[in-house]
Amino acid sequence: MNDLSLPSSPGIRQGDASLNPKSQPEPASVISVRGLQLRYGDLVALRDVNLEIPSSQVTAVVGPSGCGKSSFLSCLNRLTDLIPSCRAEGRIRFDDVPDLLHPKVDLLELRRRVGMVFQKPNPFPLSIRRNFELPLREHGVPKDEIPGRMESTLREVGLWKEVADRLNSGAQLLSGGQQQRLCIARALALKPDVILFDEPCSALDPMSSGIVEEHIAALKDRVTVVIVTHNLAQAHRIADRLAVFWVRDGAGTLIEDGPARRVFESPRDPDAALYLRGAKG
């Protein structure tokens, strides 16, 4: 296996606490971002971003509109490749893939392992069942495994009882909150290591938003979650880690990151402090 391939069983490295036995072991990073720069043509959307994303935790990405949060997420599963003017430089290690930005990385496998859920629920305009069959077949999952994966992930997002007797009806007939949970279940059915969420609750009513949020928070037992949110109360409720982006010298910049509680309670960057108090941004 060459060093750019994406094996299906990840071997996540643990942080080495032996250098400082009194400290808590560092959580293992599943994604490590170094010197990331992203341009759209001449516009520098992200400059010199360095961030560790620990596995089995929820990392919330916050900051004012236009500071590059969605662009950052898009780098992590190479959706940036779909935009012709977009160029990403730097180094992103993902588990045992040393350079996720390398042109030879298998994008189908990368996007299986790093799933994405968008702001607006985007079920295929097909039946609920076909929403699972289509991506699972594309990724080579044997036909007889599909019903089991569909049921277990629909159960995981609390949707099974609501849809078990209507699997052949249109996914787009579901409510917005149900559609979003379907999209989460569809991503989970591919057994990803990481799921990226870009403002997954902002198009939902408060009740549905609360339900989706609870399910996202519960996911970290089995996947790493990176979530962009404008809702600081939501970040406060579900995040283990917080990353605050800002526009500095015309480019999106990571101005602070760390354990969510520490960053919320005693931010070191003055802009981050004002933003987190809701006074700026």
Ligand X SMILES: Nc1ncnc2c1ncn2[C@@H]1O[C@H](COP(=O)(O)OP(=O)(O)OP(=O)(O)O)[C@@H](O)[C@H]1O
- Check binding of 70 to Mg ion (CB under 5 A): yes
Q: How far is the CB of 191 from ligand X (least distance, A)?
A: 27
Q: Give the binding range for ligand X (CB under 6 A) out of 4-12, 47-55, 67-75, 95-103.
A: 67-75
Which of ligand X, Mg ion, none binds 83 (CB below 5-8 Å, type-dependent)?
ligand X
Q: Cα–Cα distance between 181 and 213 in angstroms, integer?
A: 10
Phi, psi of 154 (to 5 degrees): -65, -35
Q: Give the binding range for Mg ion (CB under 5 A) out of 16-24, 62-70, 171-179, 263-271.
A: 62-70
- Check binding of 71 to Mg ion (CB under 5 A): no
Q: E strands within the chain?
A: 29-40, 43-54, 58-62, 86-94, 114-117, 194-198, 224-228, 241-248, 251-259
- For residue 202, give every residue at least 6 positions away whose Cβ sits within 8 Å of its Cβ, in sequence order, or none: 119, 209, 229, 230, 231
Q: Cα–Cα distance between 261 and 63 in angstroms, integer?
A: 17
Question: Radius of gyration over alpha carbons of the chain, in Å?
Answer: 19
DSSP 20: S
Among 6, 49, 67, 219, binds ligand X (CB under 6 A): 67
Q: Give the binding range for ligand X (CB under 6 A) out of 15-23, 60-68, 169-177, 267-275.
A: 60-68
Q: Cα–Cα distance between 38 and 86 in angstroms, integer?
A: 7
- Check binding of 153 to ligand X (CB under 6 A): no
Q: Give the binding range for Mg ion (CB under 5 A) out of 42-50, 68-76, 161-169, 250-258.
A: 68-76
Q: How far is the CB of 69 from Mg ion (least distance, A)?
A: 5
Q: How far is the CB of 7 from Mg ion (least distance, A)?
A: 31
Q: How far is the CB of 47 from ligand X (least distance, A)?
A: 11
Give me the DSSP letters along 41-65.
Answer: TTEEEEEEEEEEEETTSEEEEE-ST
Residues near Mg ion (CB under 5 A) are 70
Residues near ligand X (CB under 6 A) are 40, 43, 45, 65-71, 83, 85, 252
